[in-house]
Structure 1
């Protein structure tokens, strides 16, 4: 069978085939889903994207070796914090990592995770970089985006080379929030903010709201909340 016929047949079958869906209890792996129209549904899931900022300029100015070291360190720290916070890593994409949180405390867990990633960048990664390279003037920075919504997981790709696509507002908004270029390092939607426990919403001394409300101009001026706070990793 030729390539064109493969493409035509797959497109026709995918658009024609009825979906088989089931409620999700855990975050699925690709092998839990069929390549046909098979989906796991979550009434609500929280999606987190952690994105390393300025990576193109980093490669141009620091060279590939140092840039690769920063990539590796950032993704390692983010991944370890995500897992420790109860999230499931669903993909690495260049200089960013995506994770899904489910369960009763999912949104607060994701928000605290974002604050911990901010702490790790400022208190682990940047000091280690400066300690290794005397005279270093480069500062690693990141943006974390978080949203919560109904989400569906489906398997996509070709046989032997496939992954899960996450369909729902949370996946799209969480990714788009990482494009905001302001001093705040962690961003959440209003729906996520309204679901935060008090310990994920208030901090500091004196105790105050850690999240500042903004109009998200890139998304029709809907409310979004950004934070400059961090949450220390203690063990």
Structure 2
């Protein structure tokens, strides 16, 4: 049978097969969901930690330097996500996606964003400058600062397994994944953390107000919607 005929048969089967869905209380692993029309539904907070200006960095600096920045950023973001009860779901080039569930999902996600900002400002950038202060690319590095943004939203998520046997992964379908990704476009160098109103309202005050009673997030507007942004840091 030609590949075209096989694909046609497979696609028709996907569209006509009823879905077997169930409510999820934990973030599923790929092996928890079958390759057929099987899915888990859950309400989750989706977070993207996204490195900025990666194209510029790759064009400007040696490959080894760009790789070190990628690794440093994704390493710190990943450890902070896990330290705040987030589940890493995927890596996409210069960014990592995570899902938070449970009673403190919004609080944990907002804390993650502030902690990643701390890691970039107080760990990654100083370490980079120290390492390259006497190298042949020191002048270029002096002009460069690692920048990033973390974007967060919440919604019901439909989790299905896609691909083929031996090469497959989970796909996360829901407004939160789309909105969090789109918030990347709001990134400014003054604000590294962005969250929708739904996430902000659900979070505990301890990640919204400092110990001296100052607001750590401020209201902004995006696409006619209320969102919140922050330049604060959270040391972990």
> What TM-score, normalized by structure 2, do the two folds share?
0.94
Kept in 2, the 8 Å contact 1:50–1:178? The answer is no
Structure 2 residue 229 is the aligned partner of structure 1 residue 226: yes
Structure 1 segments (4+ residues) deviating >3 Å? none
SS at match of 2:227: strand
- The residue aligned with 1:152 is 158
Deviations 1:115-166 (A, max 9, x none): 0000000111001100100133210011000001111110011111111000
SS at match of 2:85: coil
- The residue aligned with 1:34 is 34
Q: Distance in 2 between matches of 1:6 and 1:28?
A: 30
Structure 2 residue 67 is the aligned partner of structure 1 residue 68: yes
Deviations 1:57-106 (A, max 9, x none): 00011121100000001000000010010000000110000000000000
| Number of residues of Structure 1 aligned to a counterpart in Structure 2 | 228
Q: Which runs of 5+ in 2 are unaligned?
A: none
| TM alignment of 1:181-200, pairs within 5 A | 181-182=187-188, 183-200=190-207
SS at match of 2:156: strand
Q: Distance in 2 between matches of 1:188 and 1:10?
A: 39
- The residue aligned with 1:8 is 8
Structure 1 residue 204, shift from structure 2 partner: 5.6
Structure 1 residue 20, shift from structure 2 partner: 0.2
Kept in 2, the 8 Å contact 1:153–1:165? The answer is yes
Q: CA RMSD in A?
A: 1.0
- The residue aligned with 2:175 is 169
Q: Distance in 2 between matches of 1:203 and 1:177?
A: 24
Structure 1 residue 6, shift from structure 2 partner: 2.2
| TM alignment of 1:42-81, pairs within 5 A | 42=42, 44-81=43-80
Q: Distance in 2 between matches of 1:28 and 1:170?
A: 17
Structure 1 residue 2, shift from structure 2 partner: 2.1
Structure 1 residue 181, shift from structure 2 partner: 2.7
Structure 1 residue 26, shift from structure 2 partner: 1.1
Structure 2 residue 104 is the aligned partner of structure 1 residue 105: yes
| TM alignment of 1:121-140, pairs within 5 A | 121-134=120-133, 135=138, 136-137=141-142, 138-140=144-146
Q: Distance in 2 between matches of 1:184 and 1:174?
A: 15
> What TM-score, normalized by structure 1, do the two folds share?
0.94
Structure 1 residue 179, shift from structure 2 partner: 2.3
